Chains A and B, each alone.
Chain A
C-alpha cells in the first residue's frame, strides 16, 4: 500500500525525495509496477513493459546515490515513452504492424539525455500507428483506453503516454505532436502536455510523421514536472539540424513569477471550429481564474486558420507519402485510415508543397502581429468537444461521414500551432458532464515556454483539476 501511494506523487516530488534519500528509486519503480499491474488491463497503455530491466536500472541509480553521485533532478525517476523513440538494438514498433519486429539502429537523442539524467525506463507505450491518428485507436496492438472511462478515447497519437500518466502508472512520458498528438491526449486524459517551439527539442531517432511539423515533448501530471523534463531534453542537437542553438533556460526556476501584470488573450474561436458549451465554459472559467490571479484578460484576435490548416495537411501528406512510399507500393499492412490519409501526397504538385513551406513564415508573422500583438499568451480549448467514445470515433470499423467529421475536428484547434511552430501547453481545466477531463491550451511567442509554464503553474496553484485521479 505504501508503495502504491508513492506512485500517486508527482514526478518532481518523487525526484526530490529520491535525491534527498527519503525514498529509493527501487521503491518508486516498484510502486509504478503495482499501478501498471492494476491499470494495464484497463487501459492497454503499454506495448512493452520491461520490469526487470527497470528494476536493475533503479538499483543502479540507488547505488550511485549511495556513493554520493546524483545526476540531476530526474535521478532514479521511472518514466515510459511512446513507442517511437529508438533505442539501439531494441524493438521499436511505431505502433505499427510493419515494424512489429524491427530493431532500432540508433538511440534517440531525447532518450540519451534522459539516460544521462538518470531516468529509469519502464518500457514503451501504445500510440496511433506511425503517429497518424488523433483518437488512440490502434487495430494492430489494441486500442488504448481512457483511464477515466474505458469506453472513451485517450486522444492520440500519444495515447499510451496520456493514459499511463493519468493512471499514475508512470511519473512522466514522452509523446510527439504533429497536429496535436501531445496536447490531445493530455486534454482527454487530464494531464499536462507541452508542444514546445519547433527546434527546441531534437527529433533525432524518433519516428517521423512530418519532418516539418513534428515536435517532441513531455506529458506529466503537473506543470512543474513538465518543466523539469523539458529542461533535460531541450537544446541543440548536431543530429537534428532543425534544433536551435538558443540556450535552454531553467524552466523550473522561473515557475513562481505569477501572472500579475500579464495580458492573456481568450480565444473561443467559433469561426474556426464549433466549441461545445461545456468546453467553452471551462476555458472561460480558467480565464476568469487568471483574472483573479492578477492577469488582464482580453479577447484574442485570431487569424483565419483555414488556409494555414490546409497548408499543414499538404506538408503532412506529401512528407508522409514520400517516407512511406516503399511500404505503400508493396501493399504493407497499414490500417485503412492510416494509408488513405497519406495517399493524396502522391498527387499534390511539388510546387504546392513548396508554397506551403514558403507560406509558413507569413502565417507566423500574421499570427504574431494579430493574436499576440497586445498579449503575452493566448488561452483556448485543446479539444473543442467532450471526449467521445471509442465507438463514436472508430473510423476503421463503423466510420461513416459523422465519424469522419468528428475525428477531423479533433485537431482543429491544435494543428495550427504545429504549422506556426510556436509553443503550446495543454493542461486540465475542468470535467464535462460525463466526468471526463477538459483541457485548455496556452500559446505563446517562439521559445517562450518559460512564460507558458509560469502561467500554467500559477493556475495549478489556484485550482485542483490536476489533482484528481481516475478511480
Chain B
C-alpha cells in the first residue's frame, strides 16, 4: 500500500468510519489527488485572505443584465 492509499485508509477508518478495500482506496486516493491538486493550483494564483464563498452571489448580482 503506497503512502497516499495508506492516508486514505486512515481517513476512511478513523475520520469517516467507512470501510473500503485496498483496491478501492487506491482508486479514491488517485482521484482525490487530481482534484486537490487542481484546486490548490487554481487557488494559489487567485485567492487572497479576503476572498469568501459569498462573493460569487454578489458578483452575479452586480453583473446582472
Q: Which A residues contact B (CB, under 8 angstroms)?
A: 197-199, 242, 244, 246, 306-308, 310-311, 313-314, 317, 328-329, 343-344, 346-349, 352, 354-362, 364-365, 368, 421, 444-448, 450-451
Considering the complex of A and B, which 9 residue pairs feature the smallest CB-CB distances, nearest first?
A310-B38, A357-B53, A307-B42, A361-B55, A448-B65, A447-B64, A360-B56, A358-B51, A362-B46
Docked pose: A246 CA to B55 CA in angstroms: 17
**7 sample A-B contacts, Cβ–Cβ < 8 Å, listed by A number:** A310-B39, A347-B8, A348-B35, A358-B47, A359-B43, A364-B63, A447-B64
**New A-B pairs, 13, CB < 8 Å, besides A314-B38, A359-B39:** A199-B57, A306-B38, A314-B39, A328-B18, A329-B18, A344-B35, A347-B8, A347-B12, A348-B32, A357-B56, A365-B59, A444-B65, A446-B60
Residues of B within 8 A of A310 (CB): 34-35, 38-39, 42
Closest A residue to B63 by beta carbon equals A446
Q: Which B residues contact A (CB, under 8 angstroms)?
A: 8, 11-12, 16-18, 20, 24, 28-29, 31-32, 34-36, 38-43, 46-47, 51-53, 55-61, 63-65
Question: Whole-angstrom distance from the CB of B24 to the nearest CB of chain A?
Answer: 8
Chain B interface, DSSP helix/strand/loop, else mixed: helix
Assess the B36–A349 pair: CB atoms within 8 A.
Answer: yes
Residues of B within 8 A of A347 (CB): 8, 11-12, 16, 28-29, 32
Supposing A346-B18, A347-B29, A448-B65 touch, asked if A361 and B38 sit within 8 A by C-beta, the answer is no
Residues of A within 8 A of B32 (CB): 344, 347-348
Residues of A within 8 A of B57 (CB): 199, 242
Assess the B59–A344 pair: CB atoms within 8 A.
Answer: no
Closest A residue to B20 by beta carbon equals A343
Residues of A within 8 A of B39 (CB): 307, 310-311, 314, 352, 355-356, 359
Q: Count CB-based A-B contacts (< 8 Å).
A: 113
Residues of B within 8 A of A244 (CB): 60-61, 64
Question: Whole-angstrom distance from the CB of B42 to the nearest CB of chain A?
Answer: 4
Question: Whole-angstrom distance from the CB of A345 to the nearest CB of chain B?
Answer: 9
From the candidates B16, B35, B47, B65, name the one contacting A359 in the complex (CB within 8 A).
B47
Docked pose: A361 CA to B29 CA in angstroms: 28
Closest B residue to A360 by beta carbon equals B56
Residues of A within 8 A of B17 (CB): 329
Residues of A within 8 A of B40 (CB): 352, 355
Docked pose: A128 CA to B24 CA in angstroms: 24
Docked pose: A213 CA to B32 CA in angstroms: 20
Docked pose: A359 CA to B35 CA in angstroms: 14
Residues of B within 8 A of A445 (CB): 63-65
Residues of B within 8 A of A451 (CB): 65
Docked pose: A354 CA to B59 CA in angstroms: 17
Supposing A346-B16, A348-B32, A360-B53 touch, asked if A307 and B60 sit within 8 A by C-beta, the answer is no
Residues of A within 8 A of B52 (CB): 358
Closest A residue to B59 by beta carbon equals A361
From the candidates A329, A346, A368, name the one contacting B11 in the complex (CB within 8 A).
A346
Assess the A344–B31 pair: CB atoms within 8 A.
Answer: yes
Docked pose: A450 CA to B51 CA in angstroms: 31
Docked pose: A444 CA to B63 CA in angstroms: 11
